[in-house]
């Protein structure tokens, strides 16, 4: 997935998210900081949200079932992976039971790929996210480094 792909997907779901949340076009435009005219153009697939608008939509409506189904889980993980090439963080996850496929495992870590966005992440044995990226070569290299550091 690219930033443009992310923007396109978020833009295409704007109307569904608005309806899911029970907002009028006027209120949704106000929430997103755009004009009603722009919102209507996006909903009619004549324009897109842009990077900032797509990030805003996904951040404000992070609990949206529409977004979860569109991006295969939390869109924030995809946003971070698109914004930063190699992002490191230690954050508890649910272990990837729904949207993730295990690609490779060691004693202490595993690589997973999201089935929708196709980005990768490394989880430790306690299901904490160590890093995520769309660059599989980076993820493989990072797994090797982590395995060497921890003897796993």
3-state secondary structure 66-118: HHHHHHCCCHHHHHHHHHCCCEEEEEECCCCCCCEEEEEECCCEEEEEECCCC
* pLDDT tens by residue, 8-30: 999 999 999 999 999 999 999 99
- Tell which phi-psi region holds residue 151, choosing left (phi > 0), alpha (psi between -120 and 50) or beta: left
Q: Rounded distance, CA 116 to CA 36, Å?
A: 31
Q: Which residues contact 76 (CB under 8 A, 6 or more apart)?
A: 58, 59, 62
What pLDDT score does 68 carry? 86
In a shared domain, residues 139 and 89: yes
- Report which DSSP code applies to 60: H
Same domain for 41 and 88, yes or no, is: no
Mean per-residue pLDDT of the chain: 88
The answer, yes or no, to whether residue 151 has pLDDT greater than 80, is no
Judgement on whether residues 63 and 90 belong to the same structural domain of the protein:
no
Are 38 and 29 spatial neighbours (Cβ–Cβ below 8 Å)? yes
Containing structural domain, residue 44: 3-71
- Among 53, 71, 89, residue at a domain's last position: 71
Same domain for 86 and 144? yes
Residues 13 and 39 placed together within one structural domain of the fold? yes
């Amino acid at each position: 997935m690219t930033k443009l792909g992310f923007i396109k997907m978020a833009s295409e779901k704007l109307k569904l998210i608005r309806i899911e949340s029970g907002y009028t076009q006027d209120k949704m435009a106000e929430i997103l900081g755009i004009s009603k005219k722009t919102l209507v153009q996006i909903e009619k697939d004549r324009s897109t949200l842009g990077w900032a608008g797509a990030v805003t939509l996904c951040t404000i409506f992070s609990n949206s079932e529409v977004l979860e189904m569109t991006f295969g889980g939390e869109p924030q993980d995809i946003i971070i992976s698109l914004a930063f090439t190699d992002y490191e963080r230690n954050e508890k996850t649910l272990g990837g039971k729904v949207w993730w496929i295990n690609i490779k495992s060691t004693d202490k870590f595993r690589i997973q790929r999201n089935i929708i966005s196709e980005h990768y992440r490394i989880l430790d044995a306690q299901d904490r996210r160590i890093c995520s990226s769309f660059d599989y070569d980076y993820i493989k290299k990072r797994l090797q480094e982590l395995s060497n550091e921890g003897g796993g």
